[in-house]
Amino acid sequence: MLEGKLVTLRSLEQTDLDRSFTWANDAEVTHFLTSLRYPLSRADEERWLDDAPRNGLAGGVRLAIDTKSGEHIGNINLHRAHPEDSKAGLGIMIGDTSYWSKGYGTDAIITLLRFAFHEMNLHRVWLQVLEDNERAIACYRQCGFQEETRLRQEVFRTGRYWDVFTMGILRSEFEALHGAPATAGAEV
């Protein structure tokens, strides 16, 4: 388990299926997700859970986000990992909307980035975000992501095209903001 200040990140279990299924069909949530457009069946969601890669650099990482009291509020992942380039993409969904804008997303991302940079030896983590997802953009900036490119009219949603930002963070930038690992054996 990966321990943050507000959240614990853990492996997804079959018992998480109902919640993940509900969130993946909640238009309030999926409006912001570039990857979810069509209604998902339970079977789709079961396949998604069954196909979860064995956590590792080649397959990526797919984890549940729990509050410290053990409530499952969302999922977070690293995908499209490229071991040769030491990079991966990050995706996050706080599915329980009552937890939005309370710092849980920021804490989950910082916790996963710390693991990505200090345990998986990643060099760069990137993500894509819709131009109107102001909450997410504010959250990503707080974590240390920088805007890198603007893909014009990349996604068609709600009857119009939307731009998409690519944002990225390097290990050195993460460490400047959130600290480097303590050197083993270093004198205190």
Ligand X SMILES: CC(C)(COP(=O)(O)OP(=O)(O)OC[C@H]1O[C@@H](n2cnc3c(N)ncnc32)[C@H](O)[C@@H]1OP(=O)(O)O)[C@@H](O)C(=O)NCCC(=O)NCCS
For residue 171, give every residue at least 6 positions away whose Cβ sits within 8 Å of its Cβ, in sequence order, or none. Answer: 117, 122, 123, 124
Determine which residue in the list 29, 61, 81, 125 makes contact with ligand X, applying CB under 6 A.
Answer: 29
Is residue 63 near ligand X by the rule CB under 6 A?
Answer: no
Three-state SS at 75: strand
Site for ligand X in 121-160 (CB under 6 A): 129, 133-136, 138-139
Determine which residue in the list 26, 32, 166, 178 makes contact with ligand X, applying CB under 6 A.
Answer: 32
Determine which residue in the list 40, 103, 154, 166 makes contact with ligand X, applying CB under 6 A.
Answer: 103
d(Cα 144, Cα 158) in Å, to the nearest integer? 30
CA distances from 60 to 41, 77, 120, 125, 130 (A): 24, 7, 10, 12, 23
For residue 18, give every residue at least 6 positions away whose Cβ sits within 8 Å of its Cβ, in sequence order, or none. Answer: none
Is residue 100 near ligand X by the rule CB under 6 A?
Answer: yes
Is residue 33 near ligand X by the rule CB under 6 A?
Answer: yes
Q: What is the largest CA-CA distance in the chain?
A: 60
Task: Give the binding range for ligand X (CB under 6 A) out of 50-58, 103-111, 155-163, 173-181.
Answer: 103-111
Site residues, ligand X (CB under 6 A):
29, 32-33, 74, 92-94, 100-106, 129, 133-136, 138-139
